[in-house]
């Protein structure tokens, strides 16, 4: 009698995240069974995820599911799943720009696509939010190259650069770039009081606010902020309030909007950030969170105005400082509408860590299902 079921997968790092990647065809078609399988793969719910591949943290509780796309002019579909160590949610409603960096390497490694010379570019659709991007990787001699000179904060060493050019990030989950219709709002939240915020979604729904307005510097350590229960309670109250204003409904059980404290840059960048994802302070900053807070930096009237240091011109390079370094985003402001972004681009790295089969108990996905 078979006691476990084997599922082919590649375990990959994408940016500052990591997790198992699967062919869509290798997972159950039934969403309920698929989610059950993913929880078993990751070992959720369990704070340590000791019985699975999860790393005991939201950044290492992620799954990528890839397939050839049926969408015209798109080659690959990417379905991102966010799991949590300590609960049984499997969230498909948001994006992950870090895991996105590993999609093309996975597709090349598994034969879903073939290289196109020394540089290979593929159009990828993130199924979660119907967002598309062009991803370019280095493929000398027809193989994915992982070594190289590119460095990203939050990952040791250097690797081959992966360029991601986002084509339509605005309103990834919300109704538009500025879901409340304004570059800033003053919200009155019980237990917090009046607070000026920018509610924005350029790839990631986010509430941006000045750290000083909450009595913080914006330079505190991740450990200190995670231990700051008073602040976290206020942030959650603001998140619930703003979630409704952003048209997201009750976000109590959702992983968005993310919450971002900002301050004057400390190390020569454009803005200092401390992001919560949403209940844990991020050691760095997510890819699409960086794009979104960077967008707030270039929009006139946002809470970042007066704090952010950004050069003039339609194409702007925004260096987003975070607890373990910085993240550079290139943004092009729409010349016909200064409250709109025409293009967002950035650089990531990825690496194949392991290939093989992950085992799940037979009762999770019986042969009869």
Radius of gyration of the chain (CA): 20
Mean pLDDT for the stretch of residues 319-346:
88
208 close to 285: Cβ distance less than 8 angstroms: no
CATH numeric code, 4-161+350-361: 3.10.310.10
**What pLDDT band is residue 315 in, cutting at 50, 70 and 90?**
confident
Instruction: Say how far apart CA 237 and CA 242 lie, in whole Å.
Output: 9
Mean pLDDT for the stretch of residues 156-181:
93
Burial (CB count <10 Å: 0-12, 13-18, 19+), residue 83:
buried
Cis peptide before 169 (omega within 30 of 0): no
CATH number for the 185-343 domain, one of 3.30.565.10, 3.10.310.10, 3.30.499.10, 3.40.640.10? 3.10.310.10
The C-alpha torsion from 269 through 270 and 273 to 278, rounded to 10°, is -130
Residue 150, both tokens = 């590119």
Instruction: Say how far apart CA 15 and CA 59 lie, in whole Å.
Output: 10
Is the pLDDT at 232 greater than 90, yes or no?
yes
What b/e readout covers 199-208, taking b as 16+ CB neighbours within 10 angstroms?
A: bbbbbbbbbb
233 close to 191: Cβ distance less than 8 angstroms: yes
pLDDT at 103: 98
Q: What is the chain's mean pLDDT, rounded?
A: 95
The C-alpha torsion from 107 through 113 and 117 to 120, rounded to 10°, is -50
pLDDT at 248: 97
Terminal CA-CA length for the chain: 16
Instruction: Say how far apart CA 318 and CA 295 lie, in whole Å.
Output: 9
Q: Specify the DSSP class assigned to residue 302.
A: S
Instruction: Say how far apart CA 171 and CA 179 lie, in whole Å.
Output: 8
Mean pLDDT for the stretch of residues 261-290:
95
Mean pLDDT for the stretch of residues 271-275:
98
Is the pLDDT at 2 greater than 70, yes or no?
no
Give 227's contacts (C-beta < 8 A, 6+ positions apart).
Answer: none
Instruction: Say how far apart CA 321 and CA 338 lie, in whole Å.
Output: 24
3-state secondary structure of 154: coil
pLDDT at 341: 87
179 close to 199: Cβ distance less than 8 angstroms: yes
Domain with CATH 3.10.310.10 in the chain: 4-161+350-361, 185-343
The 10s digit of each residue's pLDDT in 116-154 is 999 999 999 999 989 999 999 999 999 999 999 999 988
Comparison of pLDDT for 236 and 3, the residue scoring more:
236
The 10s digit of each residue's pLDDT in 85-104 is 999 999 999 889 999 999 99
The 10s digit of each residue's pLDDT in 21-51 is 999 999 999 999 999 999 999 999 999 999 9
Block residue for tokens 């011109």? 313
Is the pLDDT at 337 greater than 90, yes or no?
no
Burial (CB count <10 Å: 0-12, 13-18, 19+), residue 117:
exposed
| Residue 329, strand partner residues | 318
Q: Specify the DSSP class assigned to residue 12.
A: E
Task: Count how many residues are written for the chain.
Answer: 369
Residue 176, both tokens = 């538009």
3-state secondary structure of 169: coil
pLDDT at 1: 58
The alpha helices in the chain, defined as continuous H runs, are 31-42, 97-100, 103-110, 222-226, 229-245, 287-298
E strand map for the chain: 4-14, 17-23, 62-68, 76-83, 90-91, 119-126, 131-138, 162-166, 185-189, 193-201, 205-210, 258-263, 271-276, 315-322, 325-333, 341-348, 350-361
The 10s digit of each residue's pLDDT in 185-220 is 999 999 999 999 999 999 999 999 999 999 999 999
Of residues 78, 162, 64, the one with CA closest to residue 126: 78
């Amino acid at each position: 009698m078979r006691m476990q079921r084997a599922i082919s997968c590649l375990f990959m790092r994408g940016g500052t995240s990591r997790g198992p990647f699967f062919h869509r065809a290798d997972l159950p078609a039934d969403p309920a069974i698929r989610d059950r399988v993913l929880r078993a793969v990751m070992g959720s719910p369990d704070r340590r995820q000791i019985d699975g591949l999860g790393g005991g943290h939201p950044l290492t509780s992620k799954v990528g599911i890839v397939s050839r796309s049926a969408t015209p002019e798109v080659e690959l579909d990417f379905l991102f799943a966010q799991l949590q160590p300590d609960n049984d949610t499997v969230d498909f409603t948001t994006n992950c720009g870090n895991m996105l960096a590993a999609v093309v390497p996975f597709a090349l490694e598994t034969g879903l696509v073939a290289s196109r010379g020394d540089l290979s570019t593929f159009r990828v659709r993130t199924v979660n939010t119907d967002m598309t991007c062009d991803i370019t990787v280095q493929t000398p001699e027809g193989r994915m190259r992982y070594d190289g000179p590119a460095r990203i904060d939050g990952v040791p060493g250097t690797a081959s650069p992966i360029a991601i050019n986002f084509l339509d990030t605005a309103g990834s989950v919300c109704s538009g770039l500025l879901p409340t219709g304004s570059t800033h709002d003053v919200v009155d939240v019980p237990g917090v009081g009046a607070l000026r915020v920018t509610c924005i979604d350029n790839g990631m729904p986010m509430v941006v606010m000045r750290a000083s307005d909450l009595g913080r510097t914006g330079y505190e350590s991740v450990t200190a902020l995670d231990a700051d229960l008073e602040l976290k309670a206020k942030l959650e109250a603001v998140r619930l309030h703003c979630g409704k204003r952003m048209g997201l409904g009750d976000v109590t059980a959702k992983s968005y909007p993310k919450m971002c404290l900002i301050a004057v840059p400390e190390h020569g960048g454009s803005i200092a950030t401390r992001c919560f994802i949403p209940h844990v302070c991020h050691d760095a900053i997510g890819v699409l969170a960086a794009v979104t807070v960077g967008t707030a930096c270039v929009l006139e009237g946002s809470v970042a105005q007066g704090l952010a240091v950004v050069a003039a011109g339609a194409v702007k390079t925004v260096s987003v400082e975070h607890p373990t370094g910085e993240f550079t985003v290139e943004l092009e402001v729409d010349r016909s509408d200064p409250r709109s972004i025409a293009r967002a681009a950035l650089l990531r790295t990825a690496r194949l860590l392991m290939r093989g089969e992950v085992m799940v108990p037979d009762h999770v996905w019986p042969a009869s299902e």
